[in-house]
Chain A
Amino acid sequence: MDPDSLTFIFINAALSNNFVLALFLGLCPFLGVSAKKETAWNMGLATMFVMLVSSISAFGINWLLNEFDIQFLRLICYIAVIASAVQLVEMVVKKFSPTLFRALGIFLPLITTNCAILGLALFQTFREYNFLQSLAFSLGAGVGFTIALMLMAGLREKLELAKVPTVSQGATMSLMLAGLLSLAFMGFAGLGSGHA
């Protein structure tokens, strides 16, 4: 498959180079909000939305920075844009679903420090994607993040019923589970061989 085609970029970001399980981006919400399937789903949607907004803005900003030849300000500009996008999402969620707002709690503002979002903006800049490719990339990354979060939440709900030795309860068990999931996702590697 052509590595620049939109389908390839989408599948690559969602499965074979899954942001969470292959690139280790966004682990804090992955381990923090994956206890229940419902919150995981909402968190995934919120993250996907922020990813889309910040990807589009990052594309515009990068063009501006290149125009004025001030690339060294890139990092500061990106993080400022992401922080504002998160603020926007926070206001929307608070207005339309106060229950969801309470369920997500501290993790909603923490999307700002979710490395998956800044990582997405940086990767699309490094790989010099055009506008449509950036869009496909951010959608794929968002879908991949949601898939990983949902799988993890499903597994952890089942794990509630299982007998786990006291030593390995909590974070240890979650990490081992994540390791197994990551191993499974490596099976997709054949789909996206080429560039990492």
Chain B
Amino acid sequence: MDPRPNQEETITLDTFTRGLWKENPVFVMLLGLCPVLAVTNTTMNAIAMGLATLFVLVASSTLVSLLRKLIPKQVRIASFIIIIATFVTMVDYLIQSISLDLYNALGAFIQLIVVNCVILGRAEAYASKQKVSTAIINALGMGVGFTIALLCLGVTRELLGAGTILGFQMFSVDFEPWIVMILPPGGFFVLGAWLLLFEYIKQRKEKTHLNVEGVASHGS
């Protein structure tokens, strides 16, 4: 996954941006799909979930990276999980104190951040091998990439399913909402559609690339 997994890497712009696009946890690596599909029926839920995950990801990556020389290899997964669970408990109580409505809307999915594979994956594959500063920046990139993906789905589903964005009416009153989009099947369809779009862009890019190369070799 990472170019030099066992070596400490120097901070470059790529450390941050790779999480946004090239290794986007949702669209490219297909990790952490459960919250992506479950809580993106409105934009607000998607943003809240994205930020909560971002916080847990950055905080746990920092702590894992700080403790990387102290944690014995045999019990590392268990230790990571305990660290993550601690931060998730914090976020859980935090959201509960900020907005009870939001807390009820997200339900058990806040506590289920513990088992989000993106976070454990980052801890295991990256933070446990890198310096604190690098780990934080990488975790930030991944978290932002995750939030962007949630936002993509949340906006699409709310717009089509209810005709609103963040509760504001977007279409005229005679718009017939596609109820299916805010129901469970809509989550699968919208994520499938986004993946289709990205795959199409990728294949087109490769095709034009090939064409350009073909012309060049023909010319010579």
Contact = CB atoms under 8 A, between A and B. Distances in A.
Contact of A171 (B30, B34, B114, B180): B30
Interface in A3-47: 21-28, 31
B95 interface: no
A156 to B, nearest CB: 14
A178 B188 contact: yes
Contact of A24 (B81, B117, B184): B184
B82 A119 contact: no
B200 A167 contact: yes
Nearest to B86: A76
Interface residues of B, number: 40
Interface string B54-93: 0000000000000000000000011001100110110011
Nearest to A26: B34
Nearest to A179: B188
Most chain B Cβ neighbours within 10 Å, of A110, A168, A178? A178
A183 to B, nearest CB: 4
B164 interface: no
A132 interface: no
A99 interface: no
B187 interface: yes
B192 A172 contact: yes
A122 B85 CA distance: 14
Interface residues of A, number: 39
A167 B187 CA distance: 20
Nearest to B200: A167
Contacts of B189: 175-176, 179
A54 interface: no
Contacts of A179: 185-189, 192
Contacts of B116: 113, 115
Nearest to B82: A76
A166 interface: yes
Nearest to B121: A113
Interface string A50-69: 00000000000000000000
A24 B38 contact: yes
A15 B200 CA distance: 35
Q: Is chain A's binding surface mostly helix, strand, loop or mixed?
A: helix
A89 interface: no
B192 A176 contact: yes
Contacts of A166: 203
Interface string B23-52: 000000011011101100000000000000
Most chain A Cβ neighbours within 10 Å, of B38, B77, B184, B192? B184
B117 A28 contact: yes
A151 interface: no
A92 interface: no
Given A115-B34, A172-B196, A122 B78 contact: no
Interface of B: 30-31, 33-35, 37-38, 77-78, 81-82, 85-86, 88-89, 92-93, 108, 111-112, 114-117, 120, 180, 183-189, 191-192, 195-196, 199-200, 203
8 contacts: A22-B184, A112-B81, A112-B115, A167-B196, A167-B200, A172-B196, A182-B184, A186-B184
Interface of A: 21-28, 31, 72, 75-76, 79-80, 83, 110, 112-115, 118-119, 122-123, 126, 166-168, 171-173, 175-176, 178-180, 182-183, 186
